[in-house]
Chains A and B, each alone.
Chain A
Amino acid sequence: MDTSLRAPDSVLEFVSSLAVSLYDWQKWILLTIDECATLVRKKIAVRAPNGVGKSERIVALSALRWLQRFPRGRVVITSYDGRQLADQVWRALRVQAARFPAWKFRDHEQTIDTAQGGRLRCFTTDDPGRAEGFHADTDCPLLIIVDEAKSVDPEIIKAIDRCSYNVLLYISSPGWKQGPRTRSRTSNAITQTIHLS
């Protein structure tokens, strides 16, 4: 066992230090997000079946890794349904709270604040105006995650797209071929699509 006070070099080391095991495809997606973190306006669309660990593994771990890697970074997680965030995403984040004593997990607001000023925010809205206004900075990279993207209102997706993010992750279970996730996959050359079936 290698125990040290150094920061994890890769997302896989980070995940291992949280004592979480992953499938290959989950590692592959997390590595892709980690690799895109230093770029700007990178979109990643992930389609995976229900119950395979999208929210619990991909969303939660990529968000925690972002805050660990960039202590002043920002993470915004949104979904179609507030219950989805509260029951799955926030719960998966909360499980790891003990490993980050310097972070403040606020259950009622569903936010995490790092000691250096980084922030993770989970929110849902039906007002596109409220989905705007998230912007990255030089030392505050922004990760936006749209969970259950196939059900999110296209107007909200458009509003999110106007934010200056580093990585925008659409993640969803399979649905019909319409909506923002499909459009981003087919029309935007910078979108990386990861299709799991």
Chain B
Amino acid sequence: MRGKRPSLKRKVQTQLKRDQVLKLFSEGENIANIARELRLTDRSVRNHLHAYLETQSLYPSSITAERVAELRQLEAEHLTRIRQKLCESLEVTSAQDAIVRAKLADACIRTAERLARLYGLDAAPQPTVLQQNNFVLTVEKQREIKADMERLMPEVRRLVYGEQGGGPTNGHEPAGTG
């Protein structure tokens, strides 16, 4: 019943069913087979697996790392579908439905955050030091730059290291100044 807390009996039944789902899943059964065997719908099986991921460790001792990865992949696909539907809904809602749009946007964000957590993107942020080293140099006028360097550098060196000189007075010709 909606809005009512499940009874202890119901909780135990759910937990037992969930354990059965996980046991079969850890033995390599696919979702459809598990659903058929336990007389559940595919969605219910997915929900049980999803609940297990939410409440239990990501690496329960009964299943291997490969199966966890597979489980994670299934969860990711599920979340991606949800997010896609949310985004589609967000696009079709009009600007007047501000509350609906806000709720949809919030749900989109939470789904994206859940996906990011699932893949461990939030756990270890990438160091930003490397980005600075990867400063992409896009020079369109390499030849002009070389010509400018050859033309201007002698004057610059003369000014910095040698006699007092001057720069271009009107932006064209290098000339002496005071």
Contact = CB atoms under 8 A, between A and B. Distances in A.
Contact of B171 (A5, A8, A23, A42): A23
Interface in A78-123: 100-103, 114-116
B130 to A, nearest CB: 8
B145 A10 contact: yes
A196 to B, nearest CB: 7
Question: Interface residues of B toward A: which range?
Answer: 20 to 34
A61 to B, nearest CB: 14
Interface stretch (B41-49, B114-122, B135-143): B135-143
A32 B148 contact: no
B173 to A, nearest CB: 8
Contact of B141 (A16, A28, A71): A16
B8 interface: no
A33 to B, nearest CB: 10
Interface stretch (A131-139, A146-154, A168-176, A187-195): A187-195
Contact of A3 (B137, B152, B171): B137
Given A5-B137, A13-B139, A35-B157, A29 B167 contact: yes
Nearest to B177: A195
A101 B131 contact: yes
Contacts of B168: 24-25, 28, 196
- SS of A interface (majority): mixed
Given A36-B160, A102-B132, A10 B149 contact: yes
B156 A195 contact: no
Given A102-B128, A192-B160, A4 B174 contact: no
A49 B5 CA distance: 77
Interface string B139-177: 111100100110011011101100010111111101001
Contacts of A68: 135
Interface string A1-36: 111111110101100110000011111110110011
Contacts of B134: 5
Q: Which of B129, B137, B140, B155 gathers most chain A CB within 10 Å?
A: B137
B167 A42 contact: no
Nearest to A5: B134
A39 interface: yes
Contact of B160 (A4, A25, A35): A35
B178 interface: yes
Contacts of B141: 16
Contact of A196 (B135, B136, B167): B167
B136 A42 contact: no
Nearest to B151: A24
Contacts of B142: 2, 13
Interface of A: 1-8, 10, 12-13, 16-17, 23-29, 31-32, 35-36, 39, 42, 68, 71, 100-103, 114-116, 185, 192-197
Given A24-B168, A194-B167, 15 more contacts: A1-B140, A2-B139, A3-B138, A7-B135, A10-B145, A12-B148, A13-B137, A23-B171, A25-B168, A192-B160, A194-B166, A194-B177, A195-B178, A196-B171, A197-B169
5 contacts: A13-B137, A24-B152, A24-B172, A32-B156, A32-B159
